[in-house]
């Protein structure tokens, strides 16, 4: 059988291309990896190239390993000698043999992120800068960006000489480069930059690799930055004119502009490689025709594209449901209810479903909603909301203010932000606390007796003074205002804002969402003291500790993290202006990248797609009215099912209000899409109490006073079983299972 027989017509045309440059525009779900691997296998089987004469470049080690494995299944030759790897791994191989030509020893070391930060910290100190104003992460990001733009520190300083901050950052950059050279070290950006410098300056080395690699293949070409593009160009443009460069990509999935990817690289491929052939893969093997029509309808509004139209042979599919919700809590409930519906009606596992959002901060309300409904979940590409460092830091302050004997919280925040309280000082404090039988916090009040340096004594006195003031305020301020005060007074806010990187801004968004959670708690519960809030969050975090080995879990992630993945049922949340798209300018290239991001989100769904948006969303503790995303108007109307006239939460509330559970004069019945069956406490009052083996997390129960709730946890406390139930508008309640006035629905 011909190696290419199982490919469709366009896939075969691309894989069997003889000589010369070729651009394969591979739409979502059209078999990109299949074409790449069959192309390599075809070159080997047809003797057009030996395995070591092929260079295949990917963006991740996972993709490289998958490629090797699949090629190994297609050919009898060993793939060990093949150059298949990421840009970084390929450049390391080139540099190990030749870096001495540009002044480095071949035994150079590679500094990882932590090593870089240590060097940058040393540079900040040597340049005599205030570390509070010159953030390590922000400077690291600037250095990386300038390297990838091929801008040396001297040029950066010259261009920004009148800007004090940037000039000083340039001096740190310059010193950083000198320190790396002395240490014979390269950072990750250097691996690409130095390899490119080497190939540009050393003609004999350049020719060696140009001649060695008869065929060059590049995956995800739309994600290449300036350096990566230049590497492909210098290796692929041979003096002989045999430019056998095969690149695969999709300009409609170019979503990494914020980290340097340049969509123009794929758009201008024909100009860079004259005579290039273009093959478009448009037959989709993943999604229904409804989902593809929606994706096509959205992305056609972009100008920066080659143009293609995805289609499928499967002429079926459910209409896309766009759900209008009241707020983020209603949105979370809506998503949870729809998940249960899909599970019940279509026999889906939770692992067949994914929830996508634009920013990590959006996960908080969704996580709490899933917890209340007892739906297991996992976060891809990030931590669960209450496990994130910035959230734990704020929680540690709150817990220490509530309980001054809390040593774990004290240890976490005593030097966050930095207060020049060193390890030796902490050691002395700890010894004194242990000898005196007091907490470390209480030991701080006796700082004058500890024989510390004047600077350490002053730092601890300032810390205690700040905490005493906050302890007074916690009893007189609403919890949301008090948390804002803690965020400001402790210096956490200033510390967060110093890190002006993508990650740093994400942490600020998470803190803002945490403050919104406090405001939400304050509005929902009558008992809303600091003590109540801490108990609420701690219990949520405890219930959230799911078994990571459990496979049947819903996946939550940002759209960026979802690229390359697929699920039977997908929920895209937060389709509101200012959230998705995250920008407001109409005449801006960024809006096209946001639209591409939405296109990626839509094409993750195989069978069913739900899209939600909220009329009101809390931000930084304040309610904001939201308007529908402009992208929703771009989905063809024939792809959309009419949305419900009333939100899920409103329907639920309406149905519950029709039933008077306190009344002893009539039976209690709830019959709707979400709660099927009848609940009559008068009939069931004398029935045997619930046993732990008869009820499981996720079960619905009815409580006399609190109404319908979801079991989220059952735990042992001595000889008793305690059941944790999430009640709508009543929060999480701990009840003794033996005596709890509940019935299973």
Please give the positions annotated as active site: 32-33, 219-220, 253, 604
C-alpha distances in angstroms, 731 versus 395, 536, 545, 682? 19, 8, 18, 26
Residue 309 in tokens: 């139209």
Sign of CA dihedral 88, 92, 98, 99: positive
Helix (H) or strand (E) holding 355: strand 353-357
Helix (H) or strand (E) holding 571: strand 567-572
Taking alpha carbons only, the member of 510, 212, 197 closest to residue 379 is 510
Cα–Cα distance for residue pair 547/555, rounded to 1 Å: 14
Please give the sequence-ordered ranges of beta strands (E in DSSP) within 124-193, or none if there are none: 185-187
Residue reference for tokens 């494995």: 69
Angle at 94 between CA 88 and CA 100, to 5 degrees: 120
C-alpha distances in angstroms, 629 versus 189, 278, 579? 37, 34, 8
Cα–Cα distance for residue pair 435/608, rounded to 1 Å: 64
Whether residue 571 contacts residue 602, with contact meaning beta carbons closer than 8 Å, is answered with no
DSSP per position, 491-529: SHHHHHHH--SHHHHHHHHHHHHHHHHHHHHHHH-S--S
Please give the sequence-ordered ranges of beta strands (E in DSSP) within 211-304, or none if there are none: 215-218, 245-249, 277-281
- To the nearest 10°, the Cα dihedral for 612, 614, 619, 623? -170
Whether residue 311 contacts residue 283, with contact meaning beta carbons closer than 8 Å, is answered with yes
Cα–Cα distance for residue pair 553/672, rounded to 1 Å: 26
Q: What's the burial of 594, exposed, middle or buried (CB within 10 Å: 0-12/13-18/19+)? A: buried
Whether residue 322 contacts residue 642, with contact meaning beta carbons closer than 8 Å, is answered with no
Cα–Cα distance for residue pair 514/385, rounded to 1 Å: 9
Q: Is the peptide bond before 417 cis (omega within 30 degrees of 0)?
A: yes
220: three-class secondary structure by DSSP = coil
Q: Helical H runs in 327-439?
A: 328-346, 363-372, 389-402, 407-413, 423-436
Counting every residue, how long is the chain?
745
Cα–Cα distance for residue pair 406/414, rounded to 1 Å: 12
Helix (H) or strand (E) holding 198: helix 188-201
């Amino acid at each position: 059988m011909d190696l290419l027989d199982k490919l469709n017509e366009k896939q075969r045309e691309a894989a069997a291309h003889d000589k010369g440059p070729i651009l394969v525009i591979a739409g979502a779900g059209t078999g990109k990896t299949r074409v790449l691997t069959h192309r390599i296998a075809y070159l080997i089987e047809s003797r057009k190239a030996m395995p070591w004469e092929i260079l295949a470049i990917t963006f991740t080690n996972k993709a490289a390993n998958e490629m090797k494995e699949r090629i190994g299944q297609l050919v009898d030759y060993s793939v060990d000698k093949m150059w298949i790897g990421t840009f970084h791994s390929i450049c390391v191989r080139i540099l190990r043999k030749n870096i001495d030509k540009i002044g480095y020893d071949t035994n150079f070391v590679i500094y990882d992120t932590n090593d870089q930060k240590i060097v940058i910290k040393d540079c900040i100190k040597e340049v005599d800068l205030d570390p509070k104003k010159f953030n390590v992460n922000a400077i690291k990001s600037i250095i990386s960006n300038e390297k990838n733009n091929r801008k040396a520190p001297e040029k950066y300083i010259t261009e920004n000489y009148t800007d004090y901050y940037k000039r000083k950052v340039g001096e740190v950059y310059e010193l950083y480069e000198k320190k790396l050279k002395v240490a014979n070290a390269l950072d990750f950006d250097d691996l690409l930059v130095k390899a490119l410098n080497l190939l540009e300056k050393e003609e004999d080395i350049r020719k060696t690799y140009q001649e060695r690699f008869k065929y060059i293949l590049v995956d995800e070409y739309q994600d290449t930055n300036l350096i990566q593009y230049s590497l492909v160009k210098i290796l692929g443009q041979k003096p002989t004119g045999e430019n056998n460069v095969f690149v695969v990509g999709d300009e409609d999935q170019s979503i990494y502009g914020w980290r340097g990817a340049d969509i123009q690289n794929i758009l201008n491929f024909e100009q860079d490689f004259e005579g290039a052939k273009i093959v478009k893969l448009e037959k989709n093997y993943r999604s229904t025709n409804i989902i593809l029509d929606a994706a096509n309808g959205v992305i056609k509004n972009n100008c920066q594209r080659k143009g293609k139209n995805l289609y499928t042979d499967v002429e079926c599919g459910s209409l896309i449901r766009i759900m209008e919700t009241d707020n983020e809590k209603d949105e979370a409930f809506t998503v949870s209810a729809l998940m249960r519906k899909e599970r019940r009606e279509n026999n889906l596992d939770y692992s067949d479903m994914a929830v996508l959002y634009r920013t990590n901060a959006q996960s908080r309300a969704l996580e709490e909603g899933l917890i209340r409904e007892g739906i297991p979940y996992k976060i891809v590409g990030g931590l669960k909301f209450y496990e994130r460092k910035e959230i734990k830091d704020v929680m540690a302050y709150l817990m220490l203010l509530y309980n001054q004997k809390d040593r774990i919280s004290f240890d976490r925040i005593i030097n966050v932000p930095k207060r020049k309280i060193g390890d030796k000082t902490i050691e002395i404090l700890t010894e004194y606390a242990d000898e005196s039988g007091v907490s470390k916090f209480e030991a701080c009040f006796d700082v004058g007796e500890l024989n510390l340096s004047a600077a350490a004594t002053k730092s601890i006195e300032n810390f205690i003074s700040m905490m005493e003031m906050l302890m007074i305020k916690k009893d007189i301020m609403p919890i949301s205002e008090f948390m804002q005060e803690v965020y400001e007074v402790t210096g956490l806010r200033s510390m967060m804002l110093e890190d002006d990187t993508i990650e740093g801004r994400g942490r600020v968004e998470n803190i803002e969402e945490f403050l919104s959670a406090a405001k939400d708690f304050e509005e929902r519960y009558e008992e809303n003291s600091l003590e109540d809030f801490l108990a609420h969050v701690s219990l949520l975090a405890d219930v959230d500790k799911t078994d990571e080995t459990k496979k049947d879990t819903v996946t939550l992630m940002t759209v960026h993290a979802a690229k390359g993945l697929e699920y039977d049922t997908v929920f895209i949340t937060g389709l509101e202006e200012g959230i998705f798209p995250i920008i407001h300018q109409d005449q801006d290239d960024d809006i096209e990248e946001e639209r591409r991001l939405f296109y990626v989100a839509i094409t993750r769904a195989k069978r069913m797609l739900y899209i939600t948006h909220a009329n009101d969303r809390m931000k930084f503790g304040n309610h904001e009215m939201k308007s529908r995303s402009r992208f929703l108007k771009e989905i063809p109307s024939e792809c959309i099912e009419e949305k419900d006239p009333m939100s899920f939460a409103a329907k639920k509330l309406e149905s519950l209000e029709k039933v008077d559970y306190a009344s002893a004069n009539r039976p209690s019945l709830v019959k709707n899409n979400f709660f099927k069956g009848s609940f009559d406490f008068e009939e069931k009052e004398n029935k045997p109490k619930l046993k732990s083996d008869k009820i499981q997390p996720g079960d619905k129960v009815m409580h006399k006073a609190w109404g319908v709730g979801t079991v989220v946890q059952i735990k042992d406390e001595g000889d008793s079983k305690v059941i944790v139930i999430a009640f709508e508008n009543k929060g999480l309640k701990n009840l003794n299972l033996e005596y709890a006035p509940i019935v299973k629905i």
